[in-house]
A and B are shown apart, each in its own frame.
Chain A
Amino acid sequence: MSLIWNEKYECMPRDELQAIQEERLRETVNRVFYEVPFYRRALQERGLGPDSVKSLDGLSKLPFTTKDDLRDNYPYGLFSVPLSEIVRVHASSGTTGKPVVDGYTRHDLGVWAEVMARSLTCCGATKNSVVHIAYGYGLFTGGLGAHGGAELIGASVIPASGGHTKRQIMLMKDFGSTILACTPSYAMHLAEAMAEAGLSKSDLKLKGGLFGAEPWSQNMRSQLEARLGIVALDVYGLTEIIGPGVAVECPEKQGLHVWEDHFLPEVIDPETGKQLPDGSYGELVVTTLTKQGMPLIRYRTRDITTIISELCPCGRTHRKIARFVGRTDDMLVIRGVNVFPSQIEEVLLRIAHTEPQYQIIVERRGQLDALEVQVEVSEQFFSDEIRMLETLERQIQRQIEDVLGINVRVKLVEPKTIERSEGKAKRVIDRRQL
């Protein structure tokens, strides 16, 4: 039997868990009805009052929340407490210029630390562990999210943040790090850099890795486990809901347990919005059950998965979601950063004053994702002076980098080189073998 952080809750009988969920759902609906004007309107439009949901069966009556709703209520419109109660704000990229914001009360940070403590424990973290966190620290939820969980466990936390790969390897070696938390592609990059430096897994003391913030494959898992000598597990989360720690794989590696006492999962048909039975693939929808800062009702994640309700041999009773098979929108995750084609489109519109044809090509070069934006040169911005074209290329590159916060390569291409299907250009080519 592997380690479990909070056996009482993680292994709670289903009926008890369900009773807790129902009570918390009632509280959440009540809270948003009185405290969030957006939700009060949405509930009233459906003829629902503050106490209209009595059980989990009533969930399907509730309205959905979408990323557009977050944008329309940017930045604080969906908070259910005054700003004086908010102790932390995180953000990630939205579909256009404005980011997606989440605000946390002190209680919320406690919930987050709890679910991340459970998640880190899955990959073997204890108070004796040295947890090396190479997720970026900052507005991005990865770094501070993992940090809170590791501290709650009582592990020795190394807040390394991202970048400076050689130095990270030195720190992991010298500090005797046993648990690594970062994006899976950065973990691969670290493994690669270790090999280049002539180091092998026996030079390090790593035992477990908790990787997330981007999709990765079973093949990458095998490689990471072999090269770093670890158990590598997938952690899922999104800024809107709380950050990493919404769901995590247990050592059985047969799906990610959703921490159901805090996050209520459903899978729906993305076209009709109808709930689908466990086992069917559809869009994951999450309702927060304990969040105070920004509670969300039926948030549409756009991630496609299915709910696995069979009991897990690990002993945890929380239902699992399968590894994601795609998205219902065009969001890309590149080096842990959410990228929407519309963000790149905005930059091009600003520079060219017209909508140029463009294509985004994502490749994995070595172990890291590389983003290339190809822009067709139309006569409006064609100059026969190379200098001007190069300036244009650099200007596009800099502005996209400013918006996305990651490096891109911009390439000017001839008109009509970008593949069009039925007159509509294919905006994204993802060549990564995930």
Chain B
Amino acid sequence: MPIKQISVFLENKCGRLSSVTRVIGDQGINIRAFSIADTTDFGVLRLIVNRPDETLKTLQEAGFTVSMTDVLAVEIPDHPGGLASVLELMQDAGVNIEYMYAFSAKVSKDALAVFRVENSQVAERLIAQKGIRVLGGEEVYNL
């Protein structure tokens, strides 16, 4: 089950990141994971939050350019080679990874990684077949 990720367009200038986080913080929205991809001029902030639909609306109303994307949250076996084995699965199946980032959570002893892939259904099936857990929305939002 893919989970919902919120992406926000940000210019590379002082105070933009803090203003996004303040806007959603004031709504009582909690950030579960995030990453930033950047170029010289701009960046894209990617967020996993407890209430994605509300976050989307809140940020749009605050004037940000926002989109919602499906991503996979995968439990990565916490031992040497754990991540490699997951990545090899996707490589073998020819599933391209657009981007990924890792985060940790108190509930799991394993590491968690967010994947944005070309074909999330194929990727999810492959991972599940290997006994690796893909977390559902409710699980992640309520971490």
A379 located at the interface, meaning its Cβ lies under 8 Å from any Cβ of chain B in the complex: yes
Chain B residue numbers with a CB within 8 Å of A416 are 63
* Known contacts A414-B11, A414-B16, A415-B63; is-contact A386 B39 (Cβ 8 Å): yes
* Known contacts A382-B9, A414-B9, A414-B11; is-contact A377 B99 (Cβ 8 Å): no
Whole-angstrom CA separation of A19 from B69 in the bound complex: 77
Chain B residue numbers with a CB within 8 Å of A389 are 9, 39, 42, 44
Chain A residue numbers with a CB within 8 Å of B7 are 382, 384
B98 located at the interface, meaning its Cβ lies under 8 Å from any Cβ of chain A in the complex: yes
What are the interface flags for B2-23 relative to A under an 8 Å C-beta threshold, 1 for contact and 0 otherwise? 0001010111000010000000
Task: Using CB atoms, name the residue of chain B closest to A382.
Answer: B65
Chain A residue numbers with a CB within 8 Å of B46 are 384
> Is A412 in contact with B44, judged by CB distance below 8 angstroms?
no
Chain A residue numbers with a CB within 8 Å of B11 are 412-414, 417
What are the interface flags for B29-65 relative to A under an 8 Å C-beta threshold, 1 for contact and 0 otherwise? 0000000011101101010000000000000100111
* Known contacts A414-B10, A414-B16, A417-B11; is-contact A384 B44 (Cβ 8 Å): yes
> Is B65 in contact with A411, judged by CB distance below 8 angstroms?
no
Interface of B is mostly: strand
Task: Tally inter-chain residue pairs, CB-CB below 8 A.
Answer: 55
Task: Using CB atoms, name the residue of chain A closest to B99.
Answer: A385
Chain B residue numbers with a CB within 8 Å of A378 are 65
> Is B66 in contact with A386, judged by CB distance below 8 angstroms?
no
> Is A382 in contact with B41, judged by CB distance below 8 angstroms?
no
Chain A residue numbers with a CB within 8 Å of B16 are 414
Interface size bracket, B side: 20 to 34
Chain B residue numbers with a CB within 8 Å of A386 are 37-39, 44
B104 located at the interface, meaning its Cβ lies under 8 Å from any Cβ of chain A in the complex: no
Chain A residue numbers with a CB within 8 Å of B39 are 386, 389-390
A383 located at the interface, meaning its Cβ lies under 8 Å from any Cβ of chain B in the complex: yes
Task: Using CB atoms, name the residue of chain B closest to A417.
Answer: B11
B67 located at the interface, meaning its Cβ lies under 8 Å from any Cβ of chain A in the complex: yes
Chain B residue numbers with a CB within 8 Å of A412 are 9, 11, 41-42
Task: Using CB atoms, name the residue of chain A closest to B60.
Answer: A379
Whole-angstrom CA separation of A389 from B42 in the bound complex: 9
* Known contacts A377-B9, A412-B42, A417-B11; is-contact A385 B65 (Cβ 8 Å): no
Chain A residue numbers with a CB within 8 Å of B38 are 386
- Which chain A residues numbered 383 to 421 have a C-beta less than 8 Å away from chain B? 383-387, 389-390, 411-417
* Known contacts A382-B9, A386-B39; is-contact A414 B44 (Cβ 8 Å): no
Chain A residue numbers with a CB within 8 Å of B69 are 384
Chain B residue numbers with a CB within 8 Å of A383 are 67
> Is A385 in contact with B9, judged by CB distance below 8 angstroms?
no
* Known contacts A377-B9, A389-B44; is-contact A414 B67 (Cβ 8 Å): no
Chain B residue numbers with a CB within 8 Å of A414 are 9-11, 16, 63-65
Which 10 pairs, one residue from A and one from B, show the smallest C-beta to C-beta distance?
A384-B7, A382-B65, A386-B37, A377-B9, A377-B65, A414-B11, A416-B63, A411-B41, A384-B69, A384-B44
A-B contact pairs, 29 of them (CB 8 A): A378-B65, A379-B60, A379-B65, A379-B66, A382-B7, A382-B65, A383-B67, A384-B7, A384-B44, A384-B116, A385-B44, A385-B99, A386-B37, A386-B39, A386-B44, A389-B42, A389-B44, A390-B39, A411-B41, A411-B42, A412-B9, A412-B11, A413-B11, A414-B9, A414-B11, A414-B16, A415-B63, A415-B64, A416-B63
- Beyond A379-B60, A389-B39, list 16 extra A-B contacts (CB 8 Å): A377-B42, A379-B65, A382-B9, A382-B65, A382-B66, A383-B67, A384-B116, A385-B99, A385-B116, A389-B9, A412-B11, A412-B42, A413-B42, A414-B9, A414-B10, A417-B11
